[in-house]
A = this chain, B = another copy of it.
Amino acid sequence: MAAWSSSPSLRHLLLLRPRLPLSPTCLAGSFSRRHVHSHSHSRRRLFSSASSSTLTHGDAASAHGDGDGVVDVNPPRGTRDFPPEEMRLRTWLFDQFREVSRLMAFEEVDFPVLESEALFIRKAGEEITQQLYNFEDKGGRRVVLRPEITPSLARLVIKQGKSVSLPLKWFTIGQCWRYERMTRGRRREHYQWNMDIFGVPKVRAEAELLQAIVLLFQRLGITSSDVGIRVSSRKVLQAVLNVYSIPEHLFTEVCVIVDKLGKLTREEIEKELMSTGLSSEAVQGIIEVLSLKSLSKLEEVLGSGVEAVADLKKLFSFAEQYGYADWICFDASVVRGLAYYTGIVFEAFDIEGKLRAICGGGRYDRLLSTFGSKDIPACGFGFGDAVIVELLKEKGLLPDMSRQIDDIVFPLDEELEGPASSIASSLRKKGRAVDLVEDKRLKWVFKHAERINASRLILVGNSEWERGMVRVKILSTREEFEIKAGELE
């Protein structure tokens, strides 16, 4: 019962059962190792795009002409398995998300990972809508593995309609997908924590969201010397567009272009802006304002009367009152890549500048009307599971992720499997996490106890059991004693 052995190359291959009827001996057995080895290279690549694009449904195996299909033991490209250790890390992180959401009095909601494509069709050239993991279902419907969660949230808010009272404070943790060429080894799925407030037009809502983000960082042991939150408002750009009398319908497009600052060169950005029909004067005006890093300078340039300045000043004053002012800074270059933002936008970043944005969000007061409903002021953020874990690793802040078990029950003799069953069963009913181990040597059991951080080892042996007793070993202290089985707690 020890770890089974298989050659390393075998571990990376899964043979599909052949389509032809099998002889009885084949059914229960497995293909010979030699046979597998001889084909391993070509099989591994069976599901790569080059070789499989012309395969018909279910005929993958026969396409290689050898009658045996191959399934990679890896999950589909760009996706992850979560074996126990990774799962414990994920659970721990999600628990932090949930605890902060609880402190902020948000309610959890969820949506199908599969949505109608129509919910995500936008025409502003966003990266997110250009990388949709979309397809047609068997009923001819255009569906998509959702790339983000906000449109689903908006959909549910509209659906709930009058049955809910505003403001709504909802959070969700869900998997999001994208389809892009895997040239950079980027993943096709990640999990995202979303917090959204519907029905609060004032920047109070943004102030609350920022507190949630800061509370999370603090719980994780991250300080304001590790991470900062850049804040601006799309109304800054709006004000600039107004100065140059740029038509309103170009606003979203300009935002999406300007968000590429940092990815593209300044020249490329300017070129893209010009191609929308903006004058070079307007383009220069936009670029200049975006370089501002001080709110007083912004006020000087735009005047104190504009909403952008008033909103930002209010938000920074809230930050003082909440006590997280040292975490945030004004940075006019923050625009965010989503088309629907209308006001305050923000993103958290590592101060060293090594990683992508840790999270990002903003106000989207006009999303619902794009769905044909009456608008409700709204804002929210998305916080992925990837960058934060990179940061925690880098800072040495990942907690101990080892397994923990209360008791191991081990019968020293096969005859004692009955008593061992009753003991394990009754301890579990009392709320203890019990691992019942059999058919192993005592030495293995001790090693196992150490590996899974067991608190106690309960040995059921003949000489004790004759007197209704079991032997207990406390593993941290090495203390050992006998106790009546019925008195175990």
Given A24-B248, A47-B118, A87-B107, 13 more pairs with CB closer than 8 A: A3-B166, A27-B251, A30-B368, A57-B134, A61-B118, A68-B372, A76-B137, A76-B141, A84-B170, A104-B428, A105-B405, A322-B425, A323-B425
Taking the closest CB of chain B, its distance from the CB of A107, in whole angstroms, is 4
Which B residues lie within 8 Å of A215 (CB)? 428-429
Determine, out of A7-15, A346-354, A356-364, the stretch whose residues face the partner at the interface: A7-15
Whether B118 lies near A81 (C-beta < 8 A) is: no
A434 close to chain B: CB less than 8 A = yes
A108 close to chain B: CB less than 8 A = yes
Whether B49 lies near A435 (C-beta < 8 A) is: no
Interface size on A, residues (CB 8 A): 158
Which B residues lie within 8 Å of A54 (CB)? 140
Q: Which of A3, A88, A133 has the most CB of B within 10 A?
A: A3
Taking the closest CB of chain B, its distance from the CB of A312, in whole angstroms, is 17
Residue pairs across A and B with Cβ atoms less than 8 A apart, 7 shown, are A11-B373, A28-B248, A36-B372, A55-B142, A75-B112, A321-B422, A323-B426
Whether A142 lies near B366 (C-beta < 8 A) is: no
B71, B133, B167: the one within 8 Å of A155 (CB):
B71
Determine, out of A203-211, A295-303, A477-485, the stretch whose residues face the partner at the interface: A203-211
Copies of this chain, whole number: 2
> A residues 140-158 with Cβ under 8 Å of B?
140-143, 145, 152, 155-156, 158
Whether A204 lies near B438 (C-beta < 8 A) is: yes
A53 close to chain B: CB less than 8 A = yes
A139 close to chain B: CB less than 8 A = yes
Taking the closest CB of chain B, its distance from the CB of A176, in whole angstroms, is 12
Whether B372 lies near A13 (C-beta < 8 A) is: yes
B21, B135, B175, B373: the one within 8 Å of A6 (CB):
B373
Determine, out of A119-127, A263-271, A327-335, A467-475, the stretch whose residues face the partner at the interface: A119-127
A369 touching B24 in the complex, CB below 8 Å, given contacts A52-B141, A108-B88, A109-B87 = no
Which B residues lie within 8 Å of A141 (CB)? 47-49, 52, 76-77
Q: Which of A141, A424, A432, A434 has the most CB of B within 10 A?
A: A141
> A residues 253-288 with Cβ under 8 Å of B?
none
Which B residues lie within 8 Å of A248 (CB)? 24, 27-28
> A residues 71-124 with Cβ under 8 Å of B?
71-77, 79-84, 87-88, 90-91, 102-105, 107-119, 121-123
Whether A111 lies near B81 (C-beta < 8 A) is: yes
A5 touching B116 in the complex, CB below 8 Å, given contacts A27-B366, A36-B372, A121-B16 = no
Whether B19 lies near A123 (C-beta < 8 A) is: yes
User: Shortest 5 CB-CB distances between A and B: which pairs?
Assistant: A15-B372, A53-B140, A24-B248, A49-B139, A30-B369
Whether B71 lies near A107 (C-beta < 8 A) is: no
CA of A48 to CA of B14, assembled, Å: 38
Whether A82 lies near B110 (C-beta < 8 A) is: yes
Which B residues lie within 8 Å of A439 (CB)? 202
Whether A156 lies near B366 (C-beta < 8 A) is: no
A161 touching B6 in the complex, CB below 8 Å, given contacts A137-B135, A429-B215 = yes
CA of A52 to CA of B137, assembled, Å: 11
CA of A249 to CA of B321, assembled, Å: 74
